[in-house]
Every structure is written in structure tokens, then in C-alpha cells.
């Protein structure tokens, strides 16, 4: 009897320990989640089995970590988890259909790297880098990274996987942050390199079949969801205008040589891991139109109502450096030749960049002079025509003006 009582007490203690109410938390701990982010929801606590619910609907996912890739507003909702029969409070996920305040991207190469490898990543901000810090999340472990080669509004950091299979990198300053870039590990020589950021509908997408160590691809077969879609004698498959139908798991089979090591190297071949390509709508985009030869207007019909300010950018001819202009109004007057673009400032983030408007330096004065010359020529023609008509009336078909009398 005493042993049964002891056992019941132990079971009660176990239930009390494992029966604590689970909680849902977000990794990385972003102040805001932007469209295109990779995030992980964690069901904290103890006990099995584990179940997940989204907006009250039970999901098939049954582990403590729920990875959501390239999130959009379709992922918005109430997330709850259950462990050993105990449900968490709901966690509300809200994805902002905006672009963050800074851009982070690999300097060279894609987001798929060999085991233990890494990439240099470039951080570019609108203003200056003071106060910006960068971080990495490997699994559930996060740490801060060192910025190097710091310039006025651009810096570089080395992003490495170490022993992780995937790692997410981002930078932030107070409540502002950059986009997040996820590196993924492969142990194969052949790797499919998807875009650094989620593919946007209607835009061009390049999928590259690369070989570790600089092998030259001679032919490449590309697969979507394990079905062959294209065989080419190059290393890059181009989707001209991405649609939802292009979403899927992509892989490639490459025939290649290490010809830079020796001209007589044997031909080799191999498969890549599958990589996800997700085509999303993305944030709304602005449009630049000219209202006169050197006046431009920025408009965005689908931007949220709280997007009240504007950002204008100018890239001089023969330059790739985009400069932020001081103007923050809908209309601006331009003087310098080059490429102009804009986007709307929505507080927590931005709309997408607009189309590029090329200004060649045509001034209103030059156009007015051209119009004046054309008007003068037309008037002169009218005068000559009038004289000819009058002379015909006076002299029939004879055009000698000296014989025309009043």
C-alpha cells in the first residue's frame, strides 16, 4: 500500500513537471517579421506528444520546432501548440508586406555552401552604420558577428555555418533591421543555387547548377519536384517571369570537369540536394512617371495608407552607386542626368523600389526653342503660300510678281 502511494506521488510530480503550460516563442527574435523571412516557432515545455494548431486547425506537424520559410501575409494567424495534452496560449504572427530598412546579401556566391563553409555578406544601409549590429542563429543558438571593412553606409561580415545545417543571418539597429539571409549546408560537390531572396511574381529568376571547387559544368539537367524540366549546355536555368506555378523543390544533375586543374581531367557527374524556390507577391511597388521633361512623380496605388513619405534615389551615369536624395515629396525636379527611382516610406519598412526612369538632360528651354523654331517655319510657309495665291489671282498661271498690280 505504501509503495502504491509512493508511486502515485512520483507520477503526480512527473505530471506536474511535464504538465507545465507550454509556450510558443519566435526565433530569430525579430522586432518585426517581414515578407520573405525564414522564421522558426518553438513549442517550449516538456511532454509528448506534440501538436500544433493554426487558427484552431490541427496541423500534421508534430515536433517542437516549426520552420516557416519565405513567409507572407498568408502565414498570419494564431499559432498554438500542445504538449502532453496541455495547450499553450495563442501566439499571434503578423507578417509585414514591406521591405526592411537595410539590405543584406552575399558578396559572391549563393546561399548553399559546403559543410563548414561560409560567405562574405554585405550590409548596406540608407544612412550611416553607427548603431548597426549583426547576428546569426544556428539552430536555437544565437550570437553576434563582427563587421569588417566598414565604409560610410556599407560593411562586410563573414557568415559561416560551422557545424549547422542551416543558419540565418541578419542585422539590426534598435527596432530597425535588415532582411534575413539563410545559408544552407550541402555535403555534395554539385549544388543548386536558388536566389538569395524569395522570388517575386513577374520577375526574372536564375537557378544556377554549381560545382564545388570551380568545376566547369558542361551540361545540366534541372528538375522540379523530381520531374525533369530542362537540359541545357550551360549551368543556369532562367525563368523569365516567375509565377506561383514555379514554386517547388528544385535540383540539378551536372556533367562537369575540373579543367582548370588539367586539360585532360576526366568528365564527372553528380546530383545536387533539392532546394526550395518559393514565388511570392512581395511588398507593393511604386511607379515613377514624368510630368514634364525634368519633373518626376512617385506613385503607389497598392501601398498601405500609413505610407505617407517618399524616398528618392539617383544613380549617376557610369556608376553603380545609388545615392539617396534629400527630397521626400511625391514630385521632384531633377537636374543631373542618370537613373532615378523611388519608394514609399511606411515607418516600419518600405514599399518595393519603383521602375528606373532615365533622365538624359533634356531641358524645357531647349524644347521651347525647338517649338519656337517650328512655329516660325510654319508662319514663314504660310506667308509664302499667301503671296503665291495672291499672284495666281492677279496673273493666272504666271508667277511673276512684278506684273501683279493692285
| Tens of pLDDT, residues 358-397 | 999 864 433 444 445 565 666 676 555 665 546 555 554 4
Domain ranges of the chain: 2-96, 99-187, 190-274, 287-359, 373-403
The burial class, CB within 10 Å (0-12 / 13-18 / 19+), for 277 is: buried
Whether 218 shows a pLDDT value over 80: the answer reads yes
Class of domain 99-187: mainly beta
Grid cell of 59 as nine digits: 496541423
Which fold would CATH assign to domain 287-359?
A: Immunoglobulin-like (2.60.40)
- Mean of the pLDDT values across residues 59-79? 95
- The percent of residues above 70 in pLDDT, for the chain, comes to 83
pLDDT at site 38: 94
Contact criterion met (CB below 8 Å) for 305 and 297: no
pLDDT at site 17: 45
Mean pLDDT of the chain: 85
- Nearest-CA neighbor of 238 among 283, 192, 205? 205
- Intrachain domains 99-187 and 190-274 with the same fold: yes
- Mean of the pLDDT values across residues 55-75? 94
Which fold would CATH assign to domain 190-274?
A: Immunoglobulin-like (2.60.40)
pLDDT at site 263: 61
pLDDT at site 359: 94
pLDDT at site 320: 82
Q: Could you tell me the pTM of the whole model?
A: 0.79
Task: Give the Cα separation of 124 and 101 in Å (integer).
Answer: 9
pLDDT digits (tens, 9 = 90+) for 7-47: 444 444 444 445 589 999 999 999 899 999 999 999 999 99
pLDDT at site 319: 85
pLDDT at site 379: 66
Between 139-148, 261-270, 329-338, the lowest mean confidence (pLDDT) is in: 261-270
- Nearest-CA neighbor of 259 among 320, 311, 301, 217? 217
- Mean of the pLDDT values across residues 305-309? 89
* 403 vs 204 pLDDT, higher one: 204
CATH of domain 2-96: 2.60.40.10
Whether 310 shows a pLDDT value over 70: the answer reads yes
* 399 vs 378 pLDDT, higher one: 378
Order across the sheet with 23-27: list the strands.
23-27, 39-44, 65-68
pLDDT at site 12: 44
What is the pLDDT confidence band of residue 150, given thresholds at 50, 70 and 90?
A: confident
Q: Write the secondary structure of 196-260 as one string of H (helix), E (strand) and C (coil).
A: CCCEECCCCEEEEEEECCCCEEEEEEEEECCEEEEEECCCEEEECCCCHHHCEEEEEEEEEECCC
pLDDT at site 401: 39
pLDDT at site 377: 62
pLDDT at site 373: 56
pLDDT at site 214: 81
Amino acid at each position: 500500500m505504501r509503495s502504491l502511494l509512493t508511486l502515485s506521488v512520483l507520477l503526480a510530480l512527473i505530471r506536474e513537471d511535464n504538465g507545465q503550460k507550454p509556450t510558443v516563442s519566435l526565433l530569430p527574435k525579430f522586432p518585426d517579421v517581414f515578407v520573405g523571412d525564414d522564421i522558426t516557432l518553438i513549442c517550449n515545455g516538456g511532454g509528448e506528444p506534440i501538436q500544433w494548431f493554426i487558427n484552431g486547425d490541427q496541423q500534421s506537424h508534430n515536433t517542437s520546432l516549426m520552420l516557416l520559410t519565405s513567409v507572407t501575409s498568408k502565414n498570419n494567424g494564431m499559432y498554438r501548440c500542445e504538449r502532453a495534452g496541455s495547450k499553450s496560449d495563442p501566439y499571434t504572427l503578423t507578417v509585414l508586406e514591406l521591405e526592411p530598412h537595410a539590405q543584406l546579401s552575399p558578396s559572391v556566391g549563393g546561399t548553399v555552401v559546403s559543410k563548414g563553409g561560409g560567405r562574405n555578406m554585405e550590409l548596406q544601409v540608407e544612412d550611416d552604420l553607427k548603431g548597426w549590429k549583426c547576428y546569426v542563429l544556428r539552430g536555437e543558438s544565437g550570437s553576434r558577428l563582427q563587421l569588417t571593412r566598414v565604409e560610410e553606409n556599407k560593411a562586410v561580415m563573414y557568415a559561416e555555418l560551422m557545424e549547422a545545417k542551416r543558419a540565418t543571418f541578419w542585422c539590426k539597429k534598435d527596432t530597425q533591421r535588415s532582411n534575413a539571409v539563410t545559408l544552407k549546408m550541402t555535403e555534395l560537390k554539385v549544388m543548386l543555387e536558388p536566389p538569395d531572396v524569395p522570388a517575386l511574381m513577374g520577375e526574372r529568376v536564375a537557378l544556377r547548377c554549381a560545382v564545388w571547387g570551380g568545376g566547369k559544368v558542361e551540361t545540366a539537367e534541372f528538375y522540379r519536384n523530381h520531374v525533369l524540366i530542362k537540359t541545357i549546355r550551360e549551368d543556369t536555368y532562367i525563368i523569365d517571369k516567375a509565377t506561383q506555378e514555379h514554386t517547388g523543390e528544385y535540383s540539378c544533375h551536372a556533367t562537369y570537369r575540373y579543367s582548370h586543374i588539367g586539360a585532360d581531367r576526366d568528365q564527372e557527374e553528380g546530383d545536387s540536394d533539392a532546394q526550395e524556390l518559393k514565388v511570392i507577391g512581395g511588398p507593393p511597388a511604386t511607379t515613377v512617371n514624368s510630368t514634364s521633361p525634368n519633373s518626376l512623380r512617385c506613385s503607389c496605388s497598392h501601398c498601405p495608407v500609413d505610407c505617407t513619405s517618399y524616398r528618392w534615389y539617383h544613380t549617376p551615369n557610369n556608376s553603380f552607386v545609388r545615392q539617396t536624395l534629400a527630397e521626400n515629396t511625391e514630385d521632384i525636379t531633377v537636374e543631373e542626368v542618370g537613373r532615378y527611382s523611388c519608394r514609399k516610406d511606411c515607418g516600419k519598412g518600405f514599399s518595393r523600389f519603383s521602375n528606373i526612369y532615365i533622365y538624359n538632360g533634356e531641358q524645357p528651354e531647349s524644347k521651347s526653342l525647338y517649338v519656337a523654331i517650328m512655329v516660325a517655319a510654319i508662319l514663314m510657309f504660310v506667308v509664302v503660300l499667301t503671296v503665291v495665291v495672291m499672284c495666281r489671282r492677279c496673273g493666272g498661271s504666271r508667277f511673276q510678281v512684278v506684273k501683279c498690280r493692285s
